[in-house]
Amino acid sequence: MAATTRTPVLAGNWKMYKTVQETVAYLNEFKILVQYTEGCEIVIAPAFPALAAAADAVRGSRIRIAAQNFHWESEGAFTGEVSAPMLRAAGCSDVIIGHSERRQYFGETDETVNRRVLAALEAGLRPIVCVGETLDQREANQTKDVLLRQIDGGLVSLTPESMSPIIVAYEPVWAIGTGRTATPEIAEEAHQILRDRIRENLGPETAEALRILYGGSVRPANIQGLMARPGIDGGLIGGASLDPASMAAMIHYRS
Ligand code: PGA
Protein backbone atom coordinates (compact mmCIF):
# COMPACT_ATOMS: atom_id res chain seq x y z
CA MET A 1 0.00 0.00 0.00
CA ALA A 2 1.40 3.42 -0.91
CA ALA A 3 1.87 5.93 1.87
CA THR A 4 -0.56 8.35 0.26
CA THR A 5 -3.49 6.01 0.83
CA ARG A 6 -3.37 6.53 4.58
CA THR A 7 -6.31 8.70 5.63
CA PRO A 8 -5.09 11.53 7.89
CA VAL A 9 -6.39 11.69 11.45
CA LEU A 10 -6.76 14.98 13.32
CA ALA A 11 -7.39 14.35 16.99
CA GLY A 12 -8.01 16.88 19.76
CA ASN A 13 -6.84 15.89 23.23
CA TRP A 14 -8.69 18.13 25.64
CA LYS A 15 -6.90 16.89 28.76
CA MET A 16 -8.57 18.19 31.95
CA TYR A 17 -10.43 21.02 30.26
CA LYS A 18 -14.15 21.67 29.61
CA THR A 19 -17.23 20.75 31.58
CA VAL A 20 -20.06 18.80 30.01
CA GLN A 21 -21.84 22.06 29.13
CA GLU A 22 -18.71 23.52 27.55
CA THR A 23 -18.14 20.29 25.63
CA VAL A 24 -21.62 20.26 24.12
CA ALA A 25 -21.45 23.98 23.22
CA TYR A 26 -18.09 23.42 21.49
CA LEU A 27 -19.28 20.39 19.56
CA ASN A 28 -22.48 22.07 18.40
CA GLU A 29 -20.39 24.86 16.91
CA PHE A 30 -17.58 22.64 15.67
CA LYS A 31 -19.71 20.08 13.87
CA ILE A 32 -21.10 22.84 11.64
CA LEU A 33 -17.58 24.09 10.88
CA VAL A 34 -16.45 20.65 9.73
CA GLN A 35 -19.70 19.30 8.26
CA TYR A 36 -18.45 19.29 4.64
CA THR A 37 -14.96 18.10 5.46
CA GLU A 38 -13.80 15.01 3.66
CA GLY A 39 -10.57 13.11 3.39
CA CYS A 40 -9.61 13.04 7.04
CA GLU A 41 -10.85 11.52 10.26
CA ILE A 42 -11.74 13.79 13.15
CA VAL A 43 -11.43 12.66 16.77
CA ILE A 44 -12.20 14.66 19.91
CA ALA A 45 -11.17 13.44 23.38
CA PRO A 46 -13.14 15.22 26.12
CA ALA A 47 -12.90 14.53 29.85
CA PHE A 48 -14.75 11.50 31.28
CA PRO A 49 -17.86 13.28 32.61
CA ALA A 50 -18.56 14.76 29.16
CA LEU A 51 -18.09 11.63 27.03
CA ALA A 52 -21.69 10.45 26.81
CA ALA A 53 -23.00 13.95 26.09
CA ALA A 54 -20.23 14.43 23.51
CA ALA A 55 -21.19 11.21 21.75
CA ASP A 56 -24.82 12.37 21.66
CA ALA A 57 -23.83 15.80 20.34
CA VAL A 58 -21.87 14.37 17.38
CA ARG A 59 -24.31 11.60 16.48
CA GLY A 60 -24.88 11.60 12.71
CA SER A 61 -21.62 13.53 12.07
CA ARG A 62 -18.18 12.18 11.16
CA ILE A 63 -16.67 13.23 14.47
CA ARG A 64 -15.39 10.36 16.61
CA ILE A 65 -15.22 10.58 20.38
CA ALA A 66 -12.21 9.28 22.31
CA ALA A 67 -11.51 8.82 26.00
CA GLN A 68 -8.11 9.85 27.37
CA ASN A 69 -7.48 6.78 29.54
CA PHE A 70 -9.23 3.76 31.14
CA HIS A 71 -8.50 0.68 33.23
CA TRP A 72 -7.67 -2.58 31.48
CA GLU A 73 -10.01 -4.73 33.59
CA SER A 74 -13.56 -4.80 32.25
CA GLU A 75 -15.11 -4.37 35.71
CA GLY A 76 -14.26 -4.86 39.37
CA ALA A 77 -13.35 -3.26 42.66
CA PHE A 78 -11.16 -0.47 41.26
CA THR A 79 -12.45 2.69 42.87
CA GLY A 80 -12.16 5.69 40.63
CA GLU A 81 -11.53 3.77 37.43
CA VAL A 82 -13.58 3.25 34.26
CA SER A 83 -13.38 0.32 31.85
CA ALA A 84 -13.24 -0.05 28.07
CA PRO A 85 -16.75 -1.59 27.83
CA MET A 86 -18.07 1.38 29.84
CA LEU A 87 -16.46 3.76 27.36
CA ARG A 88 -17.97 1.88 24.45
CA ALA A 89 -21.38 2.03 26.08
CA ALA A 90 -20.94 5.79 26.58
CA GLY A 91 -20.44 6.18 22.83
CA CYS A 92 -16.63 6.31 22.53
CA SER A 93 -14.99 4.73 19.50
CA ASP A 94 -11.37 5.59 20.31
CA VAL A 95 -9.11 5.89 23.32
CA ILE A 96 -5.77 7.60 23.90
CA ILE A 97 -3.30 5.30 25.65
CA GLY A 98 0.06 6.06 27.26
CA HIS A 99 0.04 9.84 26.94
CA SER A 100 3.25 11.25 28.42
CA GLU A 101 1.23 13.02 31.14
CA ARG A 102 -0.13 9.61 32.17
CA ARG A 103 3.41 8.21 32.15
CA GLN A 104 4.85 11.18 34.06
CA TYR A 105 2.15 11.80 36.68
CA PHE A 106 0.20 8.55 36.97
CA GLY A 107 2.77 5.77 36.73
CA GLU A 108 1.90 4.53 33.24
CA THR A 109 4.55 2.14 31.93
CA ASP A 110 5.04 0.29 28.67
CA GLU A 111 3.57 -2.75 30.38
CA THR A 112 0.38 -0.96 31.43
CA VAL A 113 0.18 0.61 27.98
CA ASN A 114 0.24 -2.89 26.53
CA ARG A 115 -2.49 -4.12 28.88
CA ARG A 116 -4.66 -1.18 27.90
CA VAL A 117 -4.02 -1.69 24.18
CA LEU A 118 -5.13 -5.32 24.42
CA ALA A 119 -8.18 -4.45 26.53
CA ALA A 120 -9.20 -1.63 24.17
CA LEU A 121 -9.05 -3.94 21.16
CA GLU A 122 -11.02 -6.58 23.03
CA ALA A 123 -13.76 -4.03 23.73
CA GLY A 124 -13.77 -2.66 20.17
CA LEU A 125 -12.12 0.66 20.97
CA ARG A 126 -9.47 2.02 18.63
CA PRO A 127 -6.24 2.73 20.52
CA ILE A 128 -4.22 5.89 19.88
CA VAL A 129 -0.92 4.85 21.45
CA CYS A 130 1.42 7.66 22.48
CA VAL A 131 5.20 7.46 22.56
CA GLY A 132 7.91 10.09 22.79
CA GLU A 133 11.20 11.03 24.38
CA THR A 134 11.92 13.66 27.03
CA LEU A 135 14.31 16.54 26.46
CA ASP A 136 16.99 14.83 28.57
CA GLN A 137 16.66 11.67 26.52
CA ARG A 138 16.90 13.61 23.25
CA GLU A 139 19.96 15.51 24.45
CA ALA A 140 21.60 12.25 25.54
CA ASN A 141 21.00 10.79 22.06
CA GLN A 142 18.60 8.22 23.43
CA THR A 143 15.60 9.11 21.27
CA LYS A 144 15.79 6.02 19.09
CA ASP A 145 16.24 3.64 22.03
CA VAL A 146 13.35 5.21 23.92
CA LEU A 147 11.02 5.04 20.94
CA LEU A 148 11.91 1.43 20.21
CA ARG A 149 11.46 0.45 23.85
CA GLN A 150 8.08 2.18 24.04
CA ILE A 151 6.76 0.84 20.75
CA ASP A 152 7.96 -2.72 21.41
CA GLY A 153 6.78 -2.69 25.02
CA GLY A 154 3.43 -1.10 24.28
CA LEU A 155 2.60 -3.44 21.43
CA VAL A 156 3.67 -6.81 22.88
CA SER A 157 1.74 -9.77 21.41
CA LEU A 158 0.08 -7.83 18.62
CA THR A 159 -0.22 -9.46 15.22
CA PRO A 160 -0.65 -7.82 11.80
CA GLU A 161 -4.42 -8.47 12.17
CA SER A 162 -4.83 -7.11 15.69
CA MET A 163 -2.57 -4.17 14.86
CA SER A 164 -4.79 -2.94 12.04
CA PRO A 165 -7.02 -0.50 13.98
CA ILE A 166 -4.15 0.94 16.01
CA ILE A 167 -2.92 4.50 15.58
CA VAL A 168 0.42 5.62 17.01
CA ALA A 169 1.13 9.18 18.10
CA TYR A 170 4.70 10.45 18.33
CA GLU A 171 4.70 13.15 20.97
CA PRO A 172 8.12 14.40 22.08
CA VAL A 173 7.62 15.40 25.70
CA TRP A 174 9.66 18.59 25.22
CA ALA A 175 7.17 19.79 22.62
CA ILE A 176 3.97 19.18 24.58
CA GLY A 177 2.35 22.38 25.81
CA THR A 178 5.64 24.26 25.45
CA GLY A 179 5.08 26.06 22.16
CA ARG A 180 8.25 24.33 20.99
CA THR A 181 7.07 22.20 18.07
CA ALA A 182 9.34 19.56 16.61
CA THR A 183 10.42 20.60 13.13
CA PRO A 184 8.82 18.55 10.37
CA GLU A 185 12.28 16.98 9.85
CA ILE A 186 12.63 15.90 13.48
CA ALA A 187 9.09 14.56 13.54
CA GLU A 188 9.52 12.67 10.31
CA GLU A 189 12.76 11.09 11.48
CA ALA A 190 11.02 9.78 14.58
CA HIS A 191 8.05 8.55 12.55
CA GLN A 192 10.48 6.69 10.31
CA ILE A 193 12.10 4.98 13.30
CA LEU A 194 8.67 3.84 14.46
CA ARG A 195 7.46 2.71 11.05
CA ASP A 196 10.70 0.82 10.40
CA ARG A 197 10.28 -1.00 13.69
CA ILE A 198 6.71 -2.00 12.87
CA ARG A 199 7.99 -3.22 9.50
CA GLU A 200 10.63 -5.35 11.22
CA ASN A 201 8.17 -6.74 13.78
CA LEU A 202 4.96 -7.08 11.80
CA GLY A 203 5.82 -6.78 8.12
CA PRO A 204 5.67 -4.18 5.35
CA GLU A 205 1.91 -4.08 4.87
CA THR A 206 1.21 -3.37 8.51
CA ALA A 207 3.94 -0.72 8.55
CA GLU A 208 2.65 1.04 5.44
CA ALA A 209 -0.96 1.02 6.65
CA LEU A 210 -0.13 2.36 10.14
CA ARG A 211 -1.16 5.95 10.81
CA ILE A 212 1.46 7.80 12.86
CA LEU A 213 0.33 11.16 14.21
CA TYR A 214 2.58 13.94 15.44
CA GLY A 215 1.71 15.75 18.68
CA GLY A 216 3.34 18.59 20.56
CA SER A 217 2.43 22.27 20.08
CA VAL A 218 0.62 21.68 16.79
CA ARG A 219 -1.20 24.88 15.79
CA PRO A 220 -2.96 26.30 12.73
CA ALA A 221 0.32 28.08 11.84
CA ASN A 222 2.48 24.96 11.70
CA ILE A 223 0.18 22.09 10.75
CA GLN A 224 0.67 22.47 7.02
CA GLY A 225 4.44 22.02 7.20
CA LEU A 226 4.02 18.92 9.34
CA MET A 227 1.29 17.39 7.19
CA ALA A 228 3.36 17.98 4.05
CA ARG A 229 5.69 15.21 5.21
CA PRO A 230 4.71 11.84 3.75
CA GLY A 231 5.49 10.00 6.99
CA ILE A 232 3.24 12.23 9.12
CA ASP A 233 -0.37 11.04 8.98
CA GLY A 234 -2.09 13.51 11.26
CA GLY A 235 -1.92 15.36 14.53
CA LEU A 236 -2.75 14.84 18.18
CA ILE A 237 -3.49 18.36 19.28
CA GLY A 238 -3.83 19.63 22.84
CA GLY A 239 -4.05 23.36 23.53
CA ALA A 240 -4.93 24.42 19.98
CA SER A 241 -7.86 21.98 19.86
CA LEU A 242 -9.72 23.73 22.68
CA ASP A 243 -11.14 26.40 20.41
CA PRO A 244 -13.54 25.14 17.72
CA ALA A 245 -12.39 27.62 15.05
CA SER A 246 -8.74 26.74 15.66
CA MET A 247 -9.42 22.99 15.51
CA ALA A 248 -11.52 23.44 12.35
CA ALA A 249 -8.72 25.50 10.77
CA MET A 250 -6.28 22.65 11.39
CA ILE A 251 -8.71 20.13 9.93
CA HIS A 252 -8.88 22.33 6.83
CA TYR A 253 -5.07 22.53 6.67
CA ARG A 254 -5.03 21.88 2.94
CA SER A 255 -7.11 24.96 2.07
P1 PGA B 1 -0.18 20.39 22.95
O2 PGA B 1 -0.52 18.92 23.55
O3 PGA B 1 -0.75 20.42 21.57
O4 PGA B 1 -0.89 21.35 23.89
O5 PGA B 1 1.29 20.53 22.97
C6 PGA B 1 -0.45 17.79 22.74
C7 PGA B 1 -0.80 16.56 23.57
O8 PGA B 1 -0.47 16.52 24.75
O9 PGA B 1 -1.41 15.60 23.06
Q: What is the 177 CA–ligand 1 centroid distance (Å)? A: 5
Q: What is the 134 CA–ligand 1 centroid distance (Å)? A: 14
Residue 51, domain member (yes or no): yes
Residue 2, domain member (yes or no): no
Q: What is the 183 CA–ligand 1 centroid distance (Å)? A: 15
Q: Which of 68, 69, 103, 171 to mutate to test the pocket of ligand 1 (most atoms within 8 A of CB)?
A: 171
Q: Ligand 1 atom 3: the closest Cα is on which residue?
A: 238
**Cβ 173 under 6 angstroms from ligand 1:** no
Residue 64, domain member (yes or no): yes
Q: What is the 174 CA–ligand 1 centroid distance (Å)? A: 10
Closest by CA position to 84, among listed 126, 43, 56: 126
What's 54's domain CATH number?
3.20.20.70
Residue 176 CA, closest ligand 1 atom number: 5
Closest by CA position to 128, among listed 167, 98, 100, 91: 167
Q: Which of 167, 213, 218 to mutate to test the pocket of ligand 1 (most atoms within 8 A of CB)?
A: 218
Contact 236, 215 (CB under 8 A): yes
Per-residue pLDDT of the chain (255 residues; tens, 9 = 90+): 444 589 999 999 999 999 999 999 999 999 999 999 999 999 999 999 999 999 999 999 999 999 999 999 999 999 999 999 999 999 999 999 999 999 999 999 999 999 999 999 999 999 999 999 999 999 999 999 999 999 999 999 999 999 999 999 999 999 999 989 999 999 999 999 999 999 999 999 999 999 999 999 999 999 999 999 999 999 999 999 999 999 999 999 987
Residue 190, domain member (yes or no): yes
| pLDDT of res. 254 | 83
Q: Ligand 1 atom 2: the closest Cα is on which residue?
A: 238
Closest by CA position to 63, among listed 40, 86, 83: 40
| pLDDT of res. 5 | 86
- The helix/strand/coil state of 105 is helix
Collect all residues with Cβ–Cβ distance below 8 Å to 194 and sequence separation of at least 6: 131, 147, 151, 168, 170, 212
| pLDDT of res. 138 | 96
| pLDDT of res. 234 | 98
Residue 131, domain member (yes or no): yes
Domain of residue 179: give its range.
Answer: 9-251
Residue 188, domain member (yes or no): yes
Q: DSSP assignment, residue 91?
A: T
Residue 4, domain member (yes or no): no
Q: Report how many domains make up the chain.
A: 1
Q: How many CB atoms sit inside 10 A of residue 156's CB?
A: 13
Catalytic residue (one of 99, 133, 188, 191): 99
